[in-house]
């Protein structure tokens, strides 16, 4: 029997199994960490909060995700607590994770959906992260009880595509900032402090997401309907105005041809009537000129133009009636 051959095969199988186990152990930290990123980056050995979530995306930070933190004071007060809100914005992704550290200068208090980060030896290096993919995390930070100078912070934010793993579709970014030592700067009031936001990333990238074809079609149909409504109104009211003018001209023609012309109006009535109509016509004419010159909607200009024509016609009728021959009627 060839014991050496069997032993050789057994050794090879053992080596293969050992390599597989080692590979799994090495790859385990590299896959996504939905329950919060590790303090030490398993790929490069650096701090994750400084080197980033290199197992996500292409391994480099991306400005496609905007990482923001609000509620940050300009200078801290000794032992004072501040409420930070951490937010991720991405054109396509709503959720993700974060890691925030002050390098042990102050004290973090985890809120809903957040946790205190521990190092591999179980110590707490002064950092907080998410417990599950989410967004808009609220974290309480308590300033040191003694003046330690400016406090530096590092924030890593990772917007994920929800594919349950670290992949090229994820985008992460890094933000560094500091809070000045006490009494070195004037802080904002409570309302403005809550609004004060520090961020990194390209906000324009948030608006370049591919639009839904159905939304584009709905927008196109709405534009067509609006154009149809606008032009329909324009043609309708313009046509109606032309018909009214034509009816007045036709009525004037028939009155002269078959009715003997306008009835006589005594001068004592014609003069004040002509003055009133003339002044009103002048006022409407000025309003019409203003509407055209100022670029007012066509509806305003059309109404004022029609009123101007009507006023002119009224002045014309007053003059014609005043000049008409009086008709004496025999009342007996």
What is the block-wise mean pLDDT of the chain (332 residues), using blocks of 10 residues? 47 50 40 70 86 77 90 95 94 90 95 91 92 93 96 93 75 92 91 90 70 80 89 87 88 81 86 92 92 87 89 90 78 57
- What is the spatial distance between Cα 309 and Cα 234, in angstroms, rounded to a whole number? 19
- What is the spatial distance between Cα 166 and Cα 160, in angstroms, rounded to a whole number? 8
- Taken in order 211, 217, 218, 224, the sign of the CA dihedral is positive
| Cβ contact 117:156 at 8 Å | no
Spell out where the chain has E strands: 66-70, 81-89, 96-101, 107-109, 114-116, 127-130, 137-142, 151-159, 171-179, 197-200
Helix axes 298-323, 267-293, angle to 10 degrees: 160
Rg of the Cα atoms in the chain = 41
Q: Where are the alpha helices (DSSP H) in 149-297?
A: 190-195, 213-258, 267-293
- Check residue 108 and give its pLDDT: 96
DSSP secondary structure code for residue 56 in this structure: S
Q: How many CB atoms lie within 10 A of CB 291?
A: 19
B/e letters for 256-277, b = 16+ CB within 10 Å, e = fewer, are eeeeeebebbeeeebeebbeeb
Name the token pair of 214: 């159905």
- Check residue 234 and give its pLDDT: 84
How many residues belong to the chain?
332
- What is the spatial distance between Cα 107 and Cα 110, in angstroms, rounded to a whole number? 10
| 32-210 under CATH 3.40.50.800, yes or no | no
| Cβ contact 153:99 at 8 Å | no
DSSP secondary structure code for residue 44 in this structure: T
| Cβ contact 308:285 at 8 Å | yes
| Cβ contact 197:69 at 8 Å | yes
Q: Which residues contact 264 (CB under 8 A, 6 or more apart)?
A: 321, 322, 324, 325, 326, 327
Domain ranges across the chain: 32-210, 214-323
Helix axes 213-258, 298-323, angle to 10 degrees: 0
Angle at 48 between CA 43 and CA 51, to 5 degrees: 80
| Cβ contact 155:49 at 8 Å | yes
């Amino acid at each position: 029997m060839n014991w050496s051959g069997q032993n050789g095969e057994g050794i090879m199988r053992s080596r293969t199994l050992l390599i597989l186990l080692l590979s799994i152990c090495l790859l385990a930290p590299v896959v996504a960490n939905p329950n919060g990123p590790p303090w030490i980056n398993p790929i490069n050995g650096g701090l994750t909060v400084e080197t980033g979530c290199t197992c996500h995306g292409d391994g480099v930070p991306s400005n496609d995700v905007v990482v923001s933190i609000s509620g940050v004071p300009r200078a801290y007060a000794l032992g004072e607590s501040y409420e930070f809100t951490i937010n991720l914005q991405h054109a396509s992704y709503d959720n993700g994770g974060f890691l925030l550290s002050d390098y042990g200068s102050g004290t973090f208090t985890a809120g809903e959906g957040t946790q205190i980060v521990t190092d591999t030896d179980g110590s707490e290096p002064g950092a907080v992260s998410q417990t599950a993919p989410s967004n808009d995390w609220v974290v309480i930070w308590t300033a040191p009880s003694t003046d330690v100078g400016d406090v530096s912070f590092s924030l890593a934010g990772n917007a994920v595509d929800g594919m349950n793993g670290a992949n090229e579709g994820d985008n992460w970014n890094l933000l560094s900032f500091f809070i000045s030592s006490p009494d070195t700067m004037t802080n904002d009031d409570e309302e403005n402090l809550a609004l004060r936001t520090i961020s990194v990333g390209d906000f324009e990238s948030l608006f370049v997401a591919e639009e839904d074809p159905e939304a584009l079609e709905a927008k196109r149909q709405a534009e067509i309907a609006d154009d149809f409504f606008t032009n329909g109104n324009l043609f309708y009211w313009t046509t109606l105005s032309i018909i009214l003018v034509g009816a007045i001209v036709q009525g004037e023609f028939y009155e002269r041809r078959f009715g003997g012309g306008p009835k006589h109006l005594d001068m004592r009535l014609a003069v004040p009537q002509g003055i009133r109509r003339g002044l009103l016509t002048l006022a409407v004419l000025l309003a019409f000129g203003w509407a055209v010159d100022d670029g007012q909607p066509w509806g305003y200009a059309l109404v004022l133009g029609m009123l101007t024509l009507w006023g002119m016609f009224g002045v014309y009728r007053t003059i014609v009636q005043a000049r008409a021959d009086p008709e004496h009627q025999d009342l007996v």
